[in-house]
Amino acid sequence: MRSNRGFLIAFSALVAAALILMTALLSVLRESGVALVRFPDGTVLLGEPEDAKRAYGDLPPVSITIVDTPRPEIPVTTAPPAEGMEPLTFNQIYKAAAPSVAAIIATSPYGTGTGSGFIMSEDGYIITNNHVVEYSEEITVMLEDGSEYPARTVGADRVSDLAVIKIGVSGLDPIEFGNSDAMEHGAPVAAIGNPLGIDLRNTITTGIISGVNRDIIIEDSAGELTMNVLQTNCAVNPGNSGGPLLNEYGQVIGIISSKIMSGAGQNVEGLGFAIPSNTAAPLVAQLIEKGFVTGRPTLGVQVDITYDESVADKYGLPPGVRIVDVSKSSDAYRKGLRPNDIVTHIDGGEVYGIADVNAIKENRAAGDVLTLTVYRAGQTLTIEVTLVEDGEIRW
């Protein structure tokens, strides 16, 4: 939900992108959750997975530079309200939390966008969404007083959509994490962020928890992601991504990540989602300590998610998973896997898409070896590839 800097530019770009993308999408529900599509600006639309794949066909691989930042032991814990703590009015919540909410201005090859974030330590560690900074070549943080500071990525995780960045400032006022497990339907909450860019920064919207323990399925260029989230009817818009969702005590119980927008004849209002604080806290601790979340094996490849059996038949190629990019830091690259290769089997079993590959990886760990059967220009090759930690991959 990153917006372009400047209200008019943001609005025009948002409308143009929506008009182009919405025409390709139809609403669909799945038994395991709501089928959603998250676009590069963080907007989520109800959509058919095949149409989503086409919308994502030209996206480049995610590229994040993890800098060699000192990683102090910062406690990342959640806490219930202190005994005797009284609920705050929304005005009191805003006054207490707004100084700790920042605008994240990220410049990428595709332009400049703005998201939100919040201060988690007095020496400049800030939490935001991965999708706010994932393509960024330069990041600037604007604090409530309008001061701007360059920021560097400490750690990021695509699966949880979390990122930690750091600015070289001390004496900041962090926000306390609250206990998201204590949230119930109807509990009052407030969101603070920067809808549509810095012109409307530090906007507060209020509402309730509309749903807890929601599983949403998001389609992106690496396949399906299932996220367990809090649902809220607080108004959230492009630019709110990464901002805090606060309980009645002013504690962060969620990190705004996505929303559903109207599209293809579906009129949608008040469907925002936040990563629960109890989910985020241990992951943020890993991002600070290691720069990535451990235990997520990967081949280190990007695949063509538009390639299916019908495309294969059309061009006289075998069905499988077509590779479009291979990280040079991966074992797959070292073993010779290259763009335009088609992986037809893994460990002897047929694969037809990224979902099949992900299903295999779920039962493996970094260091495990997979045997790939690869079609290349009329030849069939066998390549043994070692899975690596997803967070260690560089493109």
Positions marked catalytic: 131, 161, 241
Cα(316)–Cα(310) distance, rounded to whole angstroms?
A: 10
Do 160 and 281 meet the contact criterion of CB atoms below 8 Å apart? no
Query: Cα separations (Å) of 376 from 226, 257, 345?
Result: 33, 39, 13
Cα(101)–Cα(255) distance, rounded to whole angstroms?
A: 12
Do 232 and 209 meet the contact criterion of CB atoms below 8 Å apart? yes
Tokens representing 273 are: 């989602």
